[in-house]
Amino acid sequence: MGKFSTYRYLELKDDTAAPHINIRSRNIKHPRKLKKIFIFLIVLALCITYFLDSYICMKTEVLRRIRNEPSDCRFWLLAGQSQWLDGIAKSLGYESVYHHAVIIDAGSSGSRVIAYKFRVPLTLYNFVSVYGPSNLDLVEEFFEQSKPGLSSYADDPAKGADTIVQLIKKAEFLTPPEKRKSTPLIVRATAGLRLLPADKAQQLIDHVARAIMQLGYDVAPDGVKIMDGSDEGIFIWYTINLLHNLIGGTTMAALDLGGGSTQITYQLSDKETANFPKKDQYVVPAGENITLYTHSYLKLGLLAARYGVFQTEASQADTQEFRSVCVDPIIQREPWTYANKNYFVSGAFRVHGSKRAAIYSACHAVVRRSVLPAVDWEPRRAPLGSIAAMSYFYDVAADAGIIDVMTGGQVSVAAYRKAALEACSTPNVDQPWACIDLVYIVTLLQDVYKISDEEPVYLFKKVNGHEVSWALGLAYTTIMNRIVITP
């Protein structure tokens, strides 16, 4: 199904440690005669495909530059070689090797299990790593989710742990029983648990850890923990660029919008590093060592930002009744739950015949008043090159009809603003938060991420049938650090 490549592989051990490489070796025995034939065929194939693919790449590179598209010649050259050589290896009797991983994304708005099955190309164990990047096939994946999020069980951690166990059991079919002991099972909680009191969050972590230890998977000592926002940003960056075959070439920026936090991650040139905080820079392997800028904004996820706007307009800090200019007056005492608390939200009074631009401006003003003081750092410019956006960026655009809900597509700040103008001036009891959510995304993209009105932003939920989630980046790098390579 999916194939992607990288020279070396990222593994983040904790919130402060730099990524590092862990490669071990193991001898794989095969008949000498077959091995000699295999070596000869590899050398021959490398020579033929190198010159053939180089010629094709030079032709297509001209068109890519005219269209301002990223280059991926080197990647496809070597990925193509790997596919060809892998076919030869299979015909000579070499057996495929499979690895599995199960990741739990315990988000603020829900928990998700993503189980992966990877195939290690036969050439990875032998000779391709000498000549270029190794390859890994994503053969199959399983995705399931449940709501509410783990943080909603702060007062009943045992029940919260059981929701995680039930998700894992739904994905059991993808991992053969005999392989579970060697299959990593990783649980990472995001902004939902970051926003809880430390003792409540730790109780949830402890209960989940004890529960999943009974399932027979390989659970590391740090197998259950709160994921740092920078890890979240880096892994979603890896995911989107792996799935688009861009590692080692011109990469895409990654924007992720969750319920409790939002992340922006992109590659920096050597000249740019001085303009960004050192704590937000990470050197990672991507063809060669590159520097990523990643920043996570806690409390600026979609749901947290919505709550912040309502609080900004409230006359009392501890009220359960909100009235907002970003909600149509037709909405009265709409129930809304955030962070395990129940609220009622109503639309503020509007003068009859108010122009939609005035309604939008009133909402935009209060959103900016709430959001901008919470921004602890702003980049000076927008990311260079292509920009990919995921999660609530996608969902809000799909609900507004800006993109096709199944295929995604290209949007812009101007497109979000146009949809916001419409949503803010049109009563819609089925989508009471459409106005505030769209206005918030406009504010985030324009005022915080510095993206201009017409700059294209590409929205993804799936790529080639695979879920776009930081979980894939984590699973992929975890498996690659376990793979043994014959020198």
Q: Domains along the chain?
A: 1-238+465-487 (3.30.420.40)
Tens of pLDDT, residues 409-460 = 999 999 999 999 999 999 999 999 999 999 999 999 999 999 999 999 999 9
pLDDT at 15 over 50: no
Relative to beta strand 321-324, strand 341-347 is parallel
pLDDT single digits (tens) 372-387:
999 999 888 999 899 9
- Binding-site positions read 259-263
Average pLDDT (216-222) is: 96
Model pLDDT, residue 42: 61
Rounded CA Rg of the chain = 24
Supply 202's token pair.
């730790």
User: Edge-to-edge strands of the sheet including 281-286?
Assistant: 281-286, 288-298, 261-268, 253-257, 387-391, 457-459, 409-411
Would you say residue 280 has pLDDT above 60?
A: yes
Q: Quick: pLDDT tens for 224-278.
A: 999 999 999 999 999 999 899 888 889 999 999 999 999 999 999 989 999 999 9
- Other CB atoms within 10 Å distance of the CB of residue 17: 9
Pairing of strands 224-226, 334-338: unpaired
CA distances from 438 to 256, 305, 424 (A): 15, 12, 9
> Contact, 388 vs 466, CB < 8 A?
no
Residues with a known catalytic role: 232
- As a whole number, the mean pLDDT across the chain is 83
Annotated binding residues for ATP, written as ranges, equal: 259-263
Nearest partner of 261 among 221, 209, 303, judged by Cα: 303
- Mean per-residue pLDDT for 54-72? 45
Instruction: In whole angstroms, give the CA distance from residue 405 to residue 403.
Output: 6
Half-sphere exposure of 378 (CA within 13 A, CB side): 16
CA distance 312 to 259: 18
pLDDT tops 60 at residue 217:
yes
What is the pLDDT, as a whole number, of residue 482?
82
- Mean pLDDT across 176-203: 95
Q: What percent of the chain has pLDDT over 70?
A: 76
